[in-house]
Structure 1
Amino acid sequence: MNVRSVLTRNRLRATFVIVVVLSSAVIAYGSAHGRSTASEADVPRAEPRDGHTVVTESGRYGTIVAYAPDGSLEYYDSSHTKYFDVDPVDSEATTVEYAATDTIHTEGPTCRTPPCTRNVVERVNLSTGETEEIYARYDHREKSGEWHDVDRIDDTHIVVADIVADQVFVVDTETELVEWLWDAQSEFPVDGGGAYPTNWAHINDVEYVERGEQAGRIVVSLRNQDQVVFLDRDEGLLEEWTLGAEDDYDVLYEQHNPDYIPEDEGGPAVLVADSENDRVQEFQREDGEWNRTWEWTDARMEWPRDADRLPGGNTLVADTHGERILEIDPDGDIVWEVPVSHPYDVERLETGDESTGGQSAAQLGLESRTVGAGNANDERSLLPIGTLRSLARDLLPHRLTNAAVYVSPVWMGASEFAAAIGIGLTGLAWATLEVKWGLAAAGVRFRTPVYRQDDE
């Protein structure tokens, strides 16, 4: 027996054991220290901050949480399957409206072939818990069957981002009559975007512009076309105002929650969560074109889905797979951060709807910042977890890791997912080598079917 061969095999076995043990430790650590909002008692408290902060979740848990200015938990609800956009209500200090979805798994009069969904817009007083239903509709499917955003136009009308039908519509909430509708098929081919008809355009955001030259128009995010578009209710799509282009990932890659900043705040500008590119960025309208004027990311940011410019220059962000909400000051420093298991939208109520009152990056003179190291105070950035997080981002397809993290247990992030992949690949490699070694010991040899024939 070849002693050197035996020693080499034992070293490989020891290496496999070390990899499996370390990866298992990462998974165990994540399970013990992962974020959770399964109950009100699990919600982490926040550091004090001016104003009320409301955050929604739409993934492993569906929750809406409100923090009081002193950081205490003022409101918690998890009665719906998913919560999406949330907006403050004018002239009512602690009242919000939100879009939520309930999944129906039981066959019945409202769902003959489960699963189905019921999309609802509700208004709640965060101080009293009093809730009022504004508008609701049943839809025939669960996958991509939600309304991710609604925006109020006036006391009786809202505009809805309808992912189910790939449409934007304005409805009178008193009569429930749809008074205006735009269908994405009127401008975009169905052989582009996502899979038709299950998840084609994925219209995930609408914003009614209240002031400035674009007043009365509607800003729309078509996630799967990688574009933010402007709609006029008389003219339709304003093509020259389109931001991004399908598959032009250097500009936008399946974005969420674009906010329009008007001229009186330094615009026209659009602040947007560039989700698949793991960054938030802003574009300024200059000489009939959109130019990038600001971007921010750090080593921890993964799949952000909301960014709001606050009065004073700070930017409030929901970092979904980074498992946090955070506030960034004009210098690019994180000045406030709260761990959240799967945030979708975040609002600072006293600052107005979305980025109302926030100035553009160009007017503020913000400088882009892409931080190369994670938050040193984040326990999940420490080795080996931080290393595995980086490997997951660098070596695996981004959409694969996002999809896996989205459906995995609440404590399982990119690091834990990478560790699980590492265990699987290590086990496969180990088993393959053991079989090969065993066959070699039994005298079985394999010859390659490819060989070189010498020139005659």
Structure 2
Amino acid sequence: MTASRGRRLVVAGLLVFVVTVGASAALAAPSGGPAPALDDDRPTLVGSQGGGTGWHRFGSVYLLDGSDVAWTEGSADSYFDVQRLDDGRVLAGFMDSGYTDCGPYDAPCTHTGFRIVDPDAADGPAVVDEYGFPVRTDSNSEVHDAEPLPGGGFLVTDMEHERLLIVENGSAVWSWNASTVYDAPADPTTTDWLHINDADRIGDGRFLVSVRNANQLLIVERTDDGGRVVETVNADDGGSDASCVGNGQLRDTDGDGDVQCGDPDVLNHQHNPQWLGDGAVVVADSDNDRVVELHRTESGEWEVAWVRTGAAGAAFHWPRDADRLPNGHTLVTDTLNKRLVELGENGSVVWSYRTERIPYEADRVPRELVGGVDADLPRASGDATDPVDATPDAGVPVLSTLVVGLRAAAPWAPVWFAETQVGLTLVSLALVVGGGVVAVRDRR
């Protein structure tokens, strides 16, 4: 009787798994495929974080010509934000291991910073210049973004020390530290405190900065003695700080009861905002699994004016880049679905590409002008109605973490194998193991 029950448990577990996989595969919406021809026939530059343990293996920069890879450079553990420079070379944030110049840390160590890649080098695409520095760990210490500045120099986001740098001729000539605004831990290199992941020049000496863990965007103005914040997008309104604390993120170190956490219903751990011109910004709202356009109201508040939660019937899964194109379309890097999609103004997919590894960011070549500096980019028309019938999977923290690991360790896994499928697989495994234990005990 007991052995029979054990066998039944094993069979039930196997059936749960088979039904889960079969039904999910049958009901899954397509999430990319052969890329149709682009109306302006411009290639797409991609920065790939890679995968593997900690997501720091198999990084690459590559150029897509439609659905064909024209060239690739893969010498770093991870690459992040990428853009083509005026001379045809490519600027990319990177992280790589195996360095012996380690400063205060033991060798070998990890460096982060930016690289310049020449796709037309004699022996194939190659790194021809690098600015970097050692970091304590390869986890959440990356330079995710570097931007060229007029007249030379680069604007750099330093996640290790949570600051902005301007680098000229290989040396930092200016810095702004986020500790002037947010309560800082004793040593920001020991924790993923703010996770500053993007900065764009939006005017003369003005930068739009993404402070991921605070759910906020800052406009920082360069000054002779550092910098000052002149505007905050999604300022703290006194609501719950739950989305900003925990896991070594924001903390109330001065004891005033405030950690400056923005409303997660507006932005939640966002990436790569793009300034469209004064009073409008489009953002990859990552933890909300959507892309949003925010507009400044007459009262000075910022509110959602336009939103997209998915494409081709498939919900976005942790998107990390959204670029408004001059034709009004939006190019989205849908990270955990491992796809790039270009959306028309009505939300329809006009181009898509399934990536082999985890993408961080994608740019059309040449890169789009940044609104407010060179030219205003189109703003969304209409309201925030989302025409895409796509609902993100359940956001159970433990299951979400397992899915992230699955995407990195097994890039061949289908993108529809998400939180629900992982949860049911764990149930299946528990039934099989439990049934086996019962059957063995009975035999003994």
Larger Rg: 1
1:200 is displaced (CA, Å) by 0.8
Alpha carbons 1:217, 1:232 under 8 Å: kept = yes
Greater CA deviation, 154-163 or 346-355? 346-355
Partner of 2:258: none
1:371 aligns with 2:352: no
Alpha carbons 2:306, 2:383 under 8 Å: kept = yes
Residue segments in structure 1 that go unaligned for 5+ positions in a row: 36-43, 375-389, 443-456
Deviation string 1:391-423 (CA, Å, 9 cap, x unpaired) is x53555575245424543222366446545433
1:87 is displaced (CA, Å) by 1.7
- What secondary structure sits across from 2:337 in the alignment? coil
Task: Work out which of the residue numbers 223, 231, 239 in structure 1 matches 2:220.
Answer: 231
- What secondary structure sits across from 2:394 in the alignment? helix
Deviation string 1:64-118 (CA, Å, 9 cap, x unpaired) is 11023x543222111111111112223x3x43211122122x7x45486256222
Task: Work out which of the residue numbers 279, 285, 299 in structure 2 matches 1:268.
Answer: 279
Corresponding letter in the other structure for 1:400: T
Corresponding letter in the other structure for 1:52: P
1:14 is displaced (CA, Å) by 3.8
- Structure 2 matches for 1:111-190, cutoff 5 A? 113-114=106-107, 116-128=109-121, 129=125, 131-172=127-168, 174=169, 176-190=170-184
Task: Work out which of the residue numbers 309, 312, 319 in structure 2 matches 1:297.
Answer: 309
Partner of 2:243: none
Provide closer, same or farther for how the CA distance between residues 408 and 27 of structure 1 changes in structure 2, counting only shifts above 3 A.
farther
1:96 aligns with 2:90: yes
Bigger relative contact order (CA 8 A; separation at least 6): 2
Task: Work out which of the residue numbers 340, 350, 353 in structure 1 matches 2:366.
Answer: 350
Alpha carbons 2:116, 2:127 under 8 Å: kept = yes
- What secondary structure sits across from 1:238 in the alignment? strand
1:18 aligns with 2:33: no
The size of the alignment, in residue pairs, is 395
Q: Matched residues in 2 for 1:73 and 1:434: separation?
A: 48
Alpha carbons 2:136, 2:189 under 8 Å: kept = no
Q: Matched residues in 2 for 1:187 and 1:403: separation?
A: 31
For the aligned residue pairs, the C-alpha RMSD in angstroms reads 3.8
Partner of 1:56: 47
Residue segments in structure 2 that go unaligned for 5+ positions in a row: 52-57, 237-260
1:434 is displaced (CA, Å) by 7.3
Q: Matched residues in 1 for 2:309 and 2:11: separation?
A: 38
Partner of 1:411: 412
- What secondary structure sits across from 2:45 in the alignment? strand
- Structure 2 matches for 1:428-439, cutoff 5 A? 428-429=430-431, 431-432=433-434
Deviation string 1:347-405 (CA, Å, 9 cap, x unpaired) is 0113535677563434x44754252249xxxxxxxxxxxxxxx7x53555575245424
Corresponding letter in the other structure for 1:203: I
- What secondary structure sits across from 1:426 in the alignment? helix
Q: Matched residues in 2 for 1:54 and 1:295: separation?
A: 24
Alpha carbons 2:7, 2:435 under 8 Å: kept = no
Provide closer, same or farther for how the CA distance between residues 147 and 439 of structure 1 changes in structure 2, counting only shifts above 3 A.
closer
Partner of 1:252: 267
Task: Work out which of the residue numbers 366, 377, 387 in structure 2 matches 1:359.
Answer: 377
Alpha carbons 1:310, 1:351 under 8 Å: kept = no
- What secondary structure sits across from 1:350 in the alignment? coil
1:180 is displaced (CA, Å) by 1.8
Provide closer, same or farther for how the CA distance between residues 13 and 360 of structure 1 changes in structure 2, counting only shifts above 3 A.
same
Q: Matched residues in 2 for 1:396 and 1:294: separation?
A: 27
1:198 aligns with 2:200: no
- What secondary structure sits across from 1:410 in the alignment? coil
1:169 is displaced (CA, Å) by 1.3
1:147 is displaced (CA, Å) by 0.4
Corresponding letter in the other structure for 1:56: G
Deviation string 1:238-276 (CA, Å, 9 cap, x unpaired) is 3543335426211111110011111xxxx4211110111
Task: Work out which of the residue numbers 421, 424, 442 in structure 1 matches 2:426.
Answer: 424
Provide closer, same or farther for how the CA distance between residues 135 and 396 of structure 1 changes in structure 2, counting only shifts above 3 A.
closer
Q: Matched residues in 2 for 1:398 and 1:439: separation?
A: 31
Deviation string 1:135-174 (CA, Å, 9 cap, x unpaired) is 33233432223100011112322111001111111121x2
- What secondary structure sits across from 2:302 in the alignment? strand
Percent identical: 27
Provide closer, same or farther for how the CA distance between residues 325 and 24 of structure 1 changes in structure 2, counting only shifts above 3 A.
closer
1:181 is displaced (CA, Å) by 1.2
Q: Matched residues in 2 for 1:152 and 1:73: separation?
A: 25
Greater CA deviation, 6-15 or 404-413? 6-15
- What secondary structure sits across from 1:155 in the alignment? coil
- What secondary structure sits across from 2:151 in the alignment? coil
Provide closer, same or farther for how the CA distance between residues 349 and 257 of structure 1 changes in structure 2, counting only shifts above 3 A.
same
Alpha carbons 1:115, 1:142 under 8 Å: kept = no
Corresponding letter in the other structure for 1:160: V
Provide closer, same or farther for how the CA distance between residues 440 and 75 of structure 1 changes in structure 2, counting only shifts above 3 A.
closer
Alpha carbons 1:56, 1:343 under 8 Å: kept = yes
TM-score normalised per structure 1 = 0.74
Partner of 1:319: 334
